[in-house]
Amino acid sequence: MPKLPFTPRPYAIEVPGDGAPDAQIAVIGEAPGFEEVKDRTPFVGVTGKMFWQLALKYARIDRGMCYVDNLCQRRLDDDAKVKLDVEEFGFWRERLYARLRSLGPRLVVAVGALSSRALLGEGFALHVGHGLPHLWEGITIVPVYHPAAALRGDSNSLALTAYDLDQAGKWWRGELPEARDDGPEETANQYRIVYGSPMAIDTEYVSETGEPICLTATAETGRAFVI
């Protein structure tokens, strides 16, 4: 029996992209939430409003400059963003490719791990390549951490989102060199050689005497070293 064409969540309302088709910046999220489905407009919920505040402050980019869309144009279950079926992921990825090829923006801000992997490969690690310009079919992609994590209690993620948007804004204003087509990990290595990595440093002390015990430092999420 021939396989039926894939149909993504037929019960869900589709939320189309929004913005001028000739916009030179595209903001691509993961999937619409409740408010986006209600208004049939992407990036208008609590997380979306937070994103635009950060984008204006750190990247000097506002919504009027952008075409705004999601990888998946129908709402996903909470678990689906992590466990999206391979077939469904491929369906939405190909549709996103078609839209971006038609629009031809200079810059795509990929918000979150899901949209970043769709454009830069399923092996792309956000903690390695975030905030750096990458190339996809001649279009520059800057992956950024999703601000939704901050609403779930991860306060560190908001600082990463702000940093990533600052980097996207610098690229847009010509303050960073053009993206390299070397693959995400090599791109990250080359930028660290030229610019260095942002690093967090903390000193631990003996509470009774105030004497320093050690120095901890990290240049990426989830990894640290002790001096």
- Sorted by where each begins, the domain ranges of the chain are 25-195, 197-227
For the chain, give the longest Cα–Cα distance: 77
Joined together, the tokens standing for residue 212 give 């320093």
pLDDT 10s digits, 4-34: 455 666 557 899 999 998 999 999 999 999 9
pLDDT 10s digits, 28-73: 999 999 999 999 999 999 999 999 999 999 999 999 999 999 999 9
- What does pTM read for this prediction? 0.77
Q: Which of 64-78, 95-109, 136-150, 184-198 has the highest mean pLDDT?
A: 95-109
Tell me the fold of 25-195.
Answer: Uracil-DNA Glycosylase, subunit E (3.40.470)
The alpha-helical segments, DSSP class H, found in the chain are: 34-39, 46-54, 80-83, 86-103, 113-120, 126-129, 148-151, 155-172, 184-195
How far apart CA 180 and CA 169 sit, in angstroms, is: 17
